[in-house]
Each structure stands twice: as C-alpha cells, then as structure tokens.
Amino acid sequence: MNKEIFLCSICNINSGTCNEDCKFCSQSVRYKADIERYKQKEISLILEEAKIAYENGALGFCLVTSDKGLNDKTLSFVCNIAEILTKELPKLRLIACNGTATLEQLLILKASGIKAYNHNLETSRKFYEQICTTHSWDERYETCKNVNEAGLVLISGGIFGLGESHEDRISMLESLKSLNPASVPINFYHHNEALQLQPNPLTIDEALELIRLTRDTVSDAQRVMVAGGRELMFGQRQKEIFSHGANSIVIGNYLTTSGRAISQDLEMLKSLNLGIAKGV
C-alpha cells in the first residue's frame, strides 16, 4: 500500500452550460438536470475554495469548465484565474480541465501558470459512440497528445459503469497507457435522474478490482486517483481502495454532486497510517 496519498480538489468554474450530448453528464443542457448553472464563478469564491483545499493538504487544484472545449473567452478566464492563484498560493499545483484543446491553447495555459491538463478518454474508442455523438473519441485522444507535446503534465482517465463491457475497460486502459499519463483519475458513474443512463451496476468488489486493473495496466503512471462516485460506489468500504492500488483521491465536492466532509477523508487516512503527499 502507498504510504502517502496525493490529494486533489476540483472547482467547477463554469457550470451546466454544455451543448454536447454525453449521456453520463448532468452538465449537458440537453437533459435539464436540476443543477446550479452559471457562466463564470466569482474569482473570490474560486480563491476561497483553493485556500480551503490547500489548508487541508490538497496539492492539486483543478479548474473545470463545462463545454466541449476551449474558446477564447474561456481561455482568457482560466488564464486570469491561474495568474491570481499562482500569486496567492504558489505551492498549489494548478490543473486545467477545459475539454478539447489545441497545442497553441495549451501553451497559453502553461504560460499563465497551469501545470497540468486533465482530459479523460471516458471509455473505449469502440463504446464511445454509445455515450456521446456530438464529438468523437479521437478528438479526446488528440487533445491528450497535444498536452504531452505542450509539456504539460497529462492527467487522463475514464468512467466505469456506463454499460461498457470488460473488453471496453481493457481497451480504454490500454489507450491510456499509450498516452503515458502521470495521473489516471477513475470515476464511477453517479446517476442523476435526468440522465438516460441507468444507475451503476458494479458491485464494490468489482469496482475494487477495476482499481487494481488500472494500476496494473497503466503501471508507469505516478498516481491512480479515485475521483467521482467514490462515496456512492464504496460507502463504508472506501478504505479498501488504497490496498487495491489507489494513491490519490479527490477531496471536497465534485462538479454537480457533493462529496463528504473533508475531515472524514483526513480521518480515514489517519486511521490507515497514511500520510498526505507534500510534493509532486
């Protein structure tokens, strides 16, 4: 078991404005999910969230926008936030998660202080058309290649429990391996009643084995992060994720759903004699 756990926090800086049809995502305007929607979060609120995350041991802070990809307005907004956070919290590792992006856009983000870019493949190339038709899996893969070319740290993973086969899971992980990400966030589908996809059919034991499979397949990754759906999927057995290969978690709230109190996660780590990573 890893002795130090890397903590990350995510900040939804633009919520519920996406026109894409990803069937797993409540941020799509197509499904009219009952979520908070806004174009740009107040910078003072973003800074407050970043300070809380850092004070609780998070080294990663991810700025997420709910659109297909970067446009000039979003790029400017993210860069402005990055410059402010870099001055206020210079030790915080800033991550951008803004959809598909060109090499040129990624280089601009890098110059503003962004250290890493998160763009998930979500599932296998073959299964992807079953969960999204408005943009392709290949666009996602190309963005990940652009991240590597830009010299940013690549963070890329996917979602389990979308109705994919085991072969799809292996295919996604093999594709991730080919991209050599530093961190692999794995999510477990969290159902919203507005979405077409049905609730996650995985058992806890199956989900734990998928963490192990991720660690074994994408073996060069520094971190396997258990992200969205952790509390719903594992319940009282969350401690077991670390013995199956996870060495990173998201603390605090997710994009459109609440996580559990940060203090509970810190107490969990303490009970396992696990430290909090102090460096990347």
Model pLDDT, residue 278: 86
d(CA 158, CA 227): 10
Is it the case that residue 258 has pLDDT exceeding 70?
no
* pLDDT, tens only, 74-90: 999 999 999 999 999 99
What domains, with CATH codes, occur in the chain? 4-276 (3.20.20.70)
Q: Are strands 248-250 and 4-14 parallel, antiparallel or unpaired?
A: parallel
* pLDDT, tens only, 101-124: 999 999 999 999 999 999 999 999
Q: Which residue has the higher pLDDT, 138 or 23?
A: 138
pLDDT class for 146, splitting at 50, 70, 90? very high
User: What are the two backbone dihedrals, phi and then psi, of residue 145, each rounded to the nearest 5 degrees?
Assistant: -65, -40
* pLDDT, tens only, 23-63: 766 665 655 556 576 678 889 999 999 999 999 999 999 99
Rounded to the nearest 10 degrees, what angle do helices 103-112 and 72-88 cross at?
30
d(CA 55, CA 77): 24
d(CA 21, CA 180): 28
Query: What does 2-47 look like in DSSP terms, one character per residue?
Result: -SEEEEEEEEEEEBS-B----TT-TTBGGGT-S---BSS--HHHHH
Model pLDDT, residue 214: 98
User: Which residues on neighbouring strands pair with residue 118, listed in sequence order?
Assistant: 155
Q: For residue 16, what are its two tokens? A: 């519920």
Model pLDDT, residue 66: 77
* pLDDT, tens only, 7-22: 999 998 876 676 676 6
Q: For residue 230, what are its two tokens? A: 């952790």
Helix (H, G, I), strand (E, B) or coil at 48: helix
d(CA 166, CA 172): 10
Is it the case that residue 279 has pLDDT exceeding 90?
no
Among 185, 100, 113, 178, residue whose Cα is nearest residue 152: 113
* pLDDT, tens only, 245-257: 999 999 986 665 6
Q: Which residue has the higher pLDDT, 197 or 94?
A: 94
pTM beyond 0.85, yes or no: yes
